[in-house]
Amino acid sequence: MCVRGGARRRAYGRPAVGNRPYRDPMRMGPHSLMPGDADAVKGKRLQRVALARAWQFAQPYRGTIALFLSAILAAALLALVPPFAFRAILDDAIPDEDRRLITVLAIVVVVAALADAALAILQRWCSARIGEGLIYDLRLALFRKVQRMPVAFFTRTQTGALISRLNNDVVGAQTAVTSTLGSVVSNVVVLVTTLAAMIALEWRLTLLALIVLPLFIIPAKRVGRRLQAISREQMGVNAEMNSQMTERFNVSGAQLVKLFGRSNDEVDLFDRRARRVRDIGITSAMYGRVFFVALGMVGAIGAAAVYGIGAFYVVDGTITSGTLVALAALVTRVYQPLTGLTNARVDLMTAMVSFERVFEVLDAPEAITDRPGAVDLVAPKGRVELDHVRFRYPAAATVTVSSLESPTALGGADPDRDVLADVSLTIRPGETVALVGSSGSGKTSLASLIPRLYDVSDGAVRIDGRDVRDLTQESLRAAIGVVSQDPHLFHDTIGANLRYAKPDATVAELDEACRGARILDMIRELPDGYDTVVGERGYRMSGGEKQRLAIARLLLKNPAIMILDEATSHLDNENEAHVQAALEHALRGRTALVIAHRLSTIRDADRIVVLDDGRIAEEGTHDELLARGGLYAAQVFAGESALLD
């Protein structure tokens, strides 16, 4: 075994970091009430369809949601107990020297505190149950959807953008049901109950307490807009930093950096970005502190106003001292809910944007699906027919989501022409057919139609006489095995990669497959044997070893039809000899379509088919085609590397 080298986050509103739980605004710092990113949702409106679909995902948790909201309501009402208890102590118990009443009221306050703590735990359990359940349901739905998408979807989609939908947007959608919904309901309940209690105590002091609120809200919105701009910049720089790490921390990227001697340049670039993130973080922290202090000042001013004016009312006998203390205790509970509700629409829109981005993927067109009444391919014999096949790559709108596309793909990189035109070909069971032609002649496209990675534009592809579109995809692909020029190995052990073809394979079956692939001796020489980790994309393996492992994996699958796409094109002569021996064993008794450029790979095929500009130019054995003096013979005799060793 040889060793060789080998997301950005699209954010709407506040960045979602981890699985954000519901946070009761009355149990957190006021800085968490900073206005949301209004620019991110500017011009957007809540759509009933989106709300209805969001509720479909939340429906399984409607009982827990009801309990969650009930706990919020109970906690808001319970929070009114201490101020009124203190009022009773000051106005009734102390003047009457009623020790028993003082004791009872003190016990009531303690019980209220314990009950409030219990409700807080219940709220947290409910929000966690709902939030984590939604994250699970949305992620599973997205992953299932992506698994059903055609190969064309992945050729146009940015992997980082897709992963962001499964991570950041799923958490953002969960926030709509737990954090945003909980906060809005809590703010409304707290505000209504507190204002009702204050008005019942003294409506003039209540009005006085509300007058000072604009002194906070107007500057807070300005600070909020500045903080939003800072946050967007921070997310952008973080995305650049994460992208740099992602690209440089894989084997290919690390090797490129070292070979070009750019390590110091990379450190300098990362240093500049990390320093900017640090500076933005400090600025953001200061703005947050200003917001916190400002809200505290408003609370202090409101309390001072209540105490100052209220004291005159007490002196005049308009209210009691207990009422004044109760009002002062309640007034601080008004400002946070009011501040939060001024931004409720933006918060809700921000969360719903994440739902819409999730739905965008869930609604993506599935170009390759099982037809109604599709049947399984049972005991395949391996006969392959292409009947007047015409094929062009599908338009982007039919296979992908525009917002997930790479910028370079937006113009439509797929050819606006037929890649294959009127191709008819029959491969008999057990026959090996070599497919040759210049680059771009349509070889790989033709091979992709057999396992139905793409659908034909016209004509039909048949396996054992059945149109592949009338077969279930699972049974069709179970009958077909593919080895490409750069086979993919997962960052896992050799045994795990082999068992991907047959999860219940025994060690004896692994040995048999690896023996047939001419790689068993190499594996046995490794200290960890089948438990050896192959590295990312198999980078710890040589090219020949990766090919033979891929062949062993194929032997475990035991398909009736094999497709070899340039399986030996990048190998040296020694490795090619090993792989060719493995392929000879693998192809015995199987139908095979071999795409190759090397003459040594194709000369022994039962038949050679020459493609030229999407059409079959000629076919026959190696000797027949040479004798015919056509395109194949011209390329061979001209010594073109496309068909020569």
Which runs of consecutive H residues, i.e. helices, occur in 249-343? 251-259, 263-316, 321-342
Confidence of residue 6 (pLDDT cuts 50, 70, 90): very low
What is residue 323's three-state secondary structure? Answer: helix
Confidence of residue 82 (pLDDT cuts 50, 70, 90): very high
Domain extents for the chain? 28-362
Percent of the chain whose pLDDT exceeds 70: 82
Structure confidence at residue 618 (pLDDT): 92
pLDDT digits (tens, 9 = 90+) for 314-346: 888 888 989 988 988 888 788 778 777 766 666
Confidence of residue 12 (pLDDT cuts 50, 70, 90): very low
Judge whether residue 25 has pLDDT over 60.
Answer: no
Do 414 and 395 meet the contact criterion of CB atoms below 8 Å apart?
Answer: yes
Structure confidence at residue 495 (pLDDT): 92
Phi, psi of 467 (to 5 degrees): -60, 130
The beta-carbon contacts of 581-584 under 8 Å, at least 24 apart in sequence, are 581/518, 582/516, 582/517, 582/518, 582/519, 582/547, 582/548, 582/551, 582/552, 583/551
Q: Exposure string (b/e) for 391-410, b if CB count within 10 Å is 16 or more?
A: bbbbebeebbbeebbeeebe
CA distance 203 to 212: 15
Name which of 268, 318, 350 is nearest 44 in CA terms. 350
Residue of higher predicted confidence among 302 and 521: 521
The one-letter amino acid at 411: G
Structure confidence at residue 104 (pLDDT): 94
Distances (CA, A) of 244 to 10, 45, 152, 239, 501: 16, 36, 27, 9, 34
pLDDT digits (tens, 9 = 90+) for 44-53: 555 677 778 8
Strands 561-565 and 480-484: parallel
Distances (CA, A) of 634 to 580, 622, 625, 626, 629: 26, 13, 10, 8, 7
pLDDT digits (tens, 9 = 90+) for 462-497: 999 999 999 999 999 999 988 887 788 888 899 999
- Range from 129-133, 157-161, 543-547 carrying the lowest mean pLDDT: 157-161
Residue of higher predicted confidence among 208 and 570: 208
Distances (CA, A) of 369 to 120, 156, 617: 48, 19, 33
Structure confidence at residue 492 (pLDDT): 87
Say which DSSP state 180 is in: I
The single residue listed with the structure tokens 């077969």 is: 471
As a whole number, mean pLDDT of residues 97-121 equals 93
Its sign, for the CA torsion 488, 493, 499, 500, is negative
pLDDT digits (tens, 9 = 90+) for 177-230: 777 778 888 888 888 999 999 999 988 888 888 887 777 667 766 766 676 677
Name which of 32, 31, 35, 34 is nearest 292 in CA terms. 31
Structure confidence at residue 11 (pLDDT): 34
As a whole number, mean pLDDT of residues 288-314 equals 80
Alpha-carbon torsion, ordered 482, 483, 489, 490, to 10 deg: -10
Q: How far is CA 523 from the centre of its chain?
A: 36
CA distance 14 to 550: 45
Say which DSSP state 375 is in: B
Judge whether residue 598 has pLDDT over 80.
Answer: no
As a whole number, mean pLDDT of residues 613-625 equals 90
Q: Which of 80-84, 161-165, 307-311 has the highest mean pLDDT?
A: 80-84
As a whole number, mean pLDDT of residues 565-572 equals 66
pLDDT digits (tens, 9 = 90+) for 203-213: 888 888 888 77
Structure confidence at residue 465 (pLDDT): 93
Confidence of residue 561 (pLDDT cuts 50, 70, 90): very high
Structure confidence at residue 18 (pLDDT): 38
Structure confidence at residue 449 (pLDDT): 94
Other Cβ atoms within 10 Å of 471 Cβ, number: 24
Residue of higher predicted confidence among 2 and 511: 511
Structure confidence at residue 410 (pLDDT): 43
Tokens, residue 506: 């025994």
Distances (CA, A) of 621 to 480, 605, 631: 24, 7, 14
Domain spanning 28-362, CATH architecture: Up-down Bundle (1.20)
SS3 string, 59-98, reads HHHHHHHHHHHHHHHHHHHHCCHHHHHHHHHHHHHCCCCC
Judge whether residue 232 has pLDDT over 70.
Answer: no
Phi, psi of 433 (to 5 degrees): -115, 125
Phi, psi of 390 (to 5 degrees): -120, 140
Q: How far is CA 640 from the centre of its chain?
A: 46
Tokens, residue 109: 């306050």
As a whole number, mean pLDDT of residues 376-382 equals 92
pTM of the model: 0.74
Judge whether residue 9 has pLDDT over 50.
Answer: no
As a whole number, mean pLDDT of residues 3-23 equals 37
Name which of 136, 134, 49, 58 is nearest 363 in CA terms. 49
As a whole number, mean pLDDT of residues 427-451 equals 90
Phi, psi of 565 (to 5 degrees): -105, 95
As a whole number, mean pLDDT of residues 397-426 equals 71
Tokens, residue 308: 């100052």
What single string gives the DSSP state of each residue in 241-263? HHHHHHHHSSHHHHHHHHHTT-H
CA distance 194 to 334: 7
DSSP lists the bridge partners of residue 504 as: none
Say which DSSP state 178 is in: I
Confidence of residue 15 (pLDDT cuts 50, 70, 90): very low
As a whole number, mean pLDDT of residues 239-246 equals 73
Cβ-count burial of 207 within 10 angstroms (0-12 exposed, 13-18 middle, 19+ buried)?
Answer: exposed
As a whole number, mean pLDDT of residues 136-161 equals 85
